[in-house]
Each structure stands twice: as structure tokens, then as C-alpha cells.
Amino acid sequence: MRSHYCGQVNESLIGQEVSVAGWVHRRRDHGGVIFVDLRDREGLLQVVFDPDRKEVFQNAERLRSEFCVHITGKVRARPSGTANANLASGQIEVLAHELEILNRSETPPFHHDEATNEELRLKYRYIDLRRDVMQQRLRLRHKVTRAMRAFLDENGFIDVETPMLTKATPEGARDYLVPSRTHPGHFFALPQSPQLFKQLLMMSGFDRYYQIVKCFRDEDLRADRQPEFTQLDIETSFMNEAEITGLMEKLARYLFKAAINVDLPDPFPRMTYEEAMRRYGSDKPDLRIPLELVDIADLVKDCEFKVFAGPASSADGRVAALRVPEGGTKLSRKQIDDYTPFVGRYGAKGLAYVKVNEKAKGRDGLQSPILKFLSDAAVSGILERTGAQDGELIFFGADKAKVVNDALGALRLKVGQDLGLVANAWRPLWVVNFPMFEWDADAKRWGAMHHPFTAPREPDPSTLKADPANAVSQGYDMVLNGSEIGGGSVRIHRAEMQSAVFDLLGIGPEEQIRKFGFLLEALKFGTPPHGGIAFGLDRLVMLMAGADSIRDVIAFPKTQTAADLMTDAPTTVSEQQLKELHVRVKLPVKAAD
């Protein structure tokens, strides 16, 4: 039907007849002539309908925005002074000889260039996706997956599909369940990741596996979560942590070069979990922001100020300072005040600060409500350790370490943005040496920091069991500009170690067999050393595209209540369908009843 895409018609075709098809992007009537900007996925093309060609012109008078048409005509140079340098086809136009209206269009609910609310965009997603920015984002996504496959195919990885109807496994989040018709009262779970299947593929000797695969988590959705998401899932055998992370950062460099022509550093810096928490209050530090946390517990542990002295003396407490260059001069009083409720969201009970006006004046050169509680030694110690200069500001966090890290870690990002301190750069790093276990105070047991299949550095199960609090894992996260874009680990490949870890996690022998019997069984038959990683595709493409939400790089995303506004899913279903699946609906009872 078409000889060229609209965006491909250019000066080289002047004098030739072309056939194009697409949508009426804009129609203008000017001097008795009708001008139509015709749009297809490759761009815009100006088509001219001349009243001298009566039949075609009369037909063109019916054209409205978003009509779908097929046009044949001759390419000619635009009259001088009317060229459009912003378009590939901006030097030419097509004089229409024939016009076929393939389909009419009602007035769309919103126009391409309009800002509109996301609800309307999601309801009419097929209109929203006509916008050039959305077309480009989804094409970037394809470019990224193509580059992933090119690199992995080249490096001997084999794409293997794993099941979607699987067994419920505890990956830390809630499963989506699927009732079985043929096994009454039984359920499949949609996979949270193909973790165990990819490990089984290593046991099968595939050596290098990958898959770009949908995964599912039935969690309450935050801004950047979706109930179904896509990951690049990778596993390798006979490689150690350094070899795996080395190959994976090579992949990342390849992707950024191929997709958006960016050179990432070689190698990526590596940082231990401990260092990341200490300096940035986060295990996914945004290295574009030059602010850092500094510990000051030793300086204030004996001071009168209980807010500081308490956490400073407590084993699970932390007292830290965040120095903000220009914070004293560029942050308004209102901004500073607003940071208190901001850190409050992370559990901080307040936000102390010191403004450094004139350091040379000692105490008198400082400004702070908490100054009176601090000794001279503490004040000078803080100034010295933070290195704060005149005109700067120091924020403080003092609480349980988790609260301080979350609050000051978030404040660091917020202040960095507010003061324009975020470098225009790509700053990846590896975060390594995660603790194996986190203590769950509510459940009074250890939880797995990554997942229960992550190998500890300690090779001896009994040594591991003797001191779980200090066990360090062979896990690694790839972090980019404050986002975790990939996470993985060397896996446990021996049955005794796997059992020891299950024991530590409070998974009893019976439960081990019931949930992971097949894994423990498989570990008996010569499992090779293996490890892998998973990259979050949605997040990665979002970062590359400079989009604000992963919803903007997913063709048909769900809302924060996990609904599809376009198709209206989920829906009710018939009693007959439920009966066949051996389930019935049990609606929640209202509190008042």
C-alpha cells in the first residue's frame, strides 16, 4: 500500500510519485489550499491538496484529525521560505493525486501535544501510544532487549523459557495464585522470578542461561512498581563472583553504548554494603550527588543532649551528620523547616541542624537550636570532621541506625535535587558484601537479605550457623544513579549448606521438603558452582529514556491499584467459571458488621 514511510520521504525523491499511508496529524487550510501533516511511525510529511484537482480536493475537505488515509502523489520541493528544518521531510511536500480515506475518526479525547492526566492516557492508551514520545520509548525498549540478546547470544548464553504456572515459593512478596481445574483445591503461583528453574538449568549443564521474562508480585504498588514486570534473568556455571560481575558490567556497558550511545566506566567501582550505608545511608547510593554522611557518635555520646547521647551509646543506634555546601546561603528557612516532616516519613522524630555563618567566631558564628546542648569539644569535633565551611549547613540524624540511614539517605537525595547538585552523568557501581541475614524483630528470627539460595562467603555450614549475625553473602547489586538495576549472587550449590541456611531462616525439615524438596533432591546429583543476576528491564529502560515512571515504558501498564483502565480488568466472572475451578468468592466483611 505504501512505497515509503512518511518520515522517509525527502529531497532525493523530488519529481517521483510516492504512496504513503497514515494519520492526519494536523490539517490547515491556507489560501484555498488544504495542507495535511500526515503521520506514521517514522515521522511527518506535508501533503498538499490543490483545488485544481477537484475530486481529490473535495475528498480532502472531509479530512479531520486522526483520519486514517492512503495518499498517492508527487514529491516536490517546498516553496522557498516554507521549509521546516525540524523535519526529515521538511524540505519537500507531496502534491496529492489520489486520496483514499481508510477510516474516519471521532475527535480524540486528547491531542498529541496536550498534557493530560494519566488516568485519561491509560484509558485511551491506544491514543496515548500514538504520541511520538511514547513510540520512541517503546522502540528504545526494543533496542535495549535486542542489544541484550546480541551480547548474550554472542557470549554463549542460551535463551530457555521457564514456566509461568509454577509452585508458590517464598521470594519475599505475595504470590499471584491461579486455581487449578484439574486438581481441585490446588493452586499454581505466577513466578516472582525463575530463580529455582534457572538454578535447575545449571544443574542440567546448560552452563549459561538467559531469559527476558515476565515476573509477578502482588504487592501494594509504589510509584515505580507494577504487578507484572519484566526482568532479564541470567545464570552461569563455573564462574566466581568477580567473573560474573565482570561479565555483567560488560553487558551493561554494551547496552548503554548500543541503546543510547553512552560510555559507562570500565570497570565499575565496587563498594561494600557497610561503606554504602555509612557514607550514603543507602545500599543503592546515587553517586551523582556529592553529599556524604559522617559518623559523629563518638563526639556526642557523653553530651547532655539525650537525643544524640542515647543513640550514640546504643549498639543499634547511629548519630550522623550531613554537610551541605551552600546550604546555609541557598536553602530558605521554609525549605529547612519542610525537611522535618520529610525525614519524619522515614521515622525520624526531628531534624537538627547547625548553620555555619562564621566559623572563625567559634560558637558565636554558628546558628542552631541544639548548640546549647553541645560541649565545645563536640562542636569543634563536628566542624572538623564534617569539614564544614562558612555558609554551609550541617543536618543531623540520631536514632536507630535504620532510621538515620533511611532519613538522612533520603534527605541527601532531596537536598541534592533542591540545590541542583545532581551531576548530569551516569554513575554505576557494584554494592557487594551484603549481610546474609537480617534480624526480624517482630518474627524473632533471621530473614534472608537477598533470598535463601544466596551463598555465604563462609564455606563451612557449621561455622555459618555459629555466627549468622556476621555472615556476609556473595550477593551483588548493580546500582545506577540511585536505582538498583540488577541484583544477583553466587548460589549455594551444596545440599548441606542449603539445609543450614534453611535452618537458620527457621524453615523446618518438613517445610524444607514440602517447599524445596525438588531443589534439595537436585543438589544431590553433582550441582556445579553457579551464580547469576536479574536486571529490571522496566527500570533500566525508564532510566535510559529519562522517563519519570516505569508506566511510561510499558505499553499497557496497570494503575497503582493493579487495574487496567483500558480493558477494565480485573472483572467479575461467572459462577460457572468459578465452579469449574473449585473456588467461590468470599467478599471481605465490613468492620461494622
Task: Please state the residue numbers annotated as binding site for L-aspartate.
Answer: 171, 217, 450, 491
Cβ proximity to a copy of itself, 169 vs 282, nearer residue: 169
Cβ proximity to a copy of itself, 180 vs 357, nearer residue: 180
Angle between helices 401-418 and 273-280 in degrees, nearest 10? 60
| 3-state secondary structure (DSSP) of residue 313 | helix
| 3-state secondary structure (DSSP) of residue 337 | helix
Angle (CA) 246 252 256, round 5° = 150
In the complex, minimum distance from the CB of residue 101 to a copy of itself, in angstroms, rounded to a whole number: 10
The secondary structure of 123-159, three-state, reads HCHHHHCCCHHHHHHHHHHHHHHHHHHHHHHHCCCEE
Cβ proximity to a copy of itself, 193 vs 282, nearer residue: 193
- Cα pseudo-dihedral 578, 584, 585, 588, rounded to 10: -160
Cβ proximity to a copy of itself, 227 vs 487, nearer residue: 227
Cβ proximity to a copy of itself, 447 vs 528, nearer residue: 528
Cβ proximity to a copy of itself, 373 vs 556, nearer residue: 556
Cβ proximity to a copy of itself, 54 vs 586, nearer residue: 586
| 3-state secondary structure (DSSP) of residue 102 | strand
In the complex, minimum distance from the CB of residue 253 to a copy of itself, in angstroms, rounded to a whole number: 22
What are the CA-CA distances from residue 270 to residues 184, 245, 285 (Å)?
51, 10, 12
Task: Please state the residue numbers annotated as binding site.
Answer: 171, 217-219, 226, 450, 484, 491, 536-539
Q: How far apart are CA 362 and CA 274, in angstroms?
A: 34
What are the CA-CA distances from residue 123 to residues 112, 116, 126, 551, 563 (Å)?
15, 12, 8, 13, 11
In the complex, minimum distance from the CB of residue 219 to a copy of itself, in angstroms, rounded to a whole number: 10
In the complex, minimum distance from the CB of residue 173 to a copy of itself, in angstroms, rounded to a whole number: 12
In the complex, minimum distance from the CB of residue 12 to a copy of itself, in angstroms, rounded to a whole number: 19
Task: Please state the residue numbers annotated as binding site for ATP.
Answer: 217-219, 226, 484, 536-539
Cβ proximity to a copy of itself, 210 vs 308, nearer residue: 210
Cβ proximity to a copy of itself, 40 vs 286, nearer residue: 40
* Cβ atoms of 329 and 323 closer than 8 Å: no
In the complex, minimum distance from the CB of residue 309 to a copy of itself, in angstroms, rounded to a whole number: 43
In the complex, minimum distance from the CB of residue 554 to a copy of itself, in angstroms, rounded to a whole number: 7
Cβ proximity to a copy of itself, 14 vs 165, nearer residue: 165
In the complex, minimum distance from the CB of residue 484 to a copy of itself, in angstroms, rounded to a whole number: 21
Cβ proximity to a copy of itself, 35 vs 206, nearer residue: 206
In the complex, minimum distance from the CB of residue 527 to a copy of itself, in angstroms, rounded to a whole number: 5
Q: How far apart are CA 393 and CA 330, in angstroms?
A: 10
Cell of 566: 483500558
In the complex, minimum distance from the CB of residue 454 to a copy of itself, in angstroms, rounded to a whole number: 18
* Cβ atoms of 376 and 363 closer than 8 Å: yes
Cβ proximity to a copy of itself, 103 vs 117, nearer residue: 103
Q: How far apart are CA 526 and CA 524, in angstroms?
A: 6
Q: How far apart are CA 150 and CA 148, in angstroms?
A: 6
One-letter amino acid for residue 325 of the chain? P
Q: How far apart are CA 535 and CA 233, in angstroms?
A: 7
Residues 6+ away with beta carbon under 8 Å from 31: none
The secondary structure of 234-303, three-state, reads EEEECCCHHHHHHHHHHHHHHHHHHHHCCCCCCCCCEEEHHHHHHHHCCCCCCCCCCCCEEECHHHHCCC
In the complex, minimum distance from the CB of residue 442 to a copy of itself, in angstroms, rounded to a whole number: 16
* Cβ atoms of 70 and 50 closer than 8 Å: no
DSSP annotation of 113: T
Angle between helices 509-522 and 195-203 in degrees, nearest 10? 40
Cell of 506: 527457621
In the complex, minimum distance from the CB of residue 400 to a copy of itself, in angstroms, rounded to a whole number: 30
Q: How far apart are CA 277 and CA 316, in angstroms?
A: 14
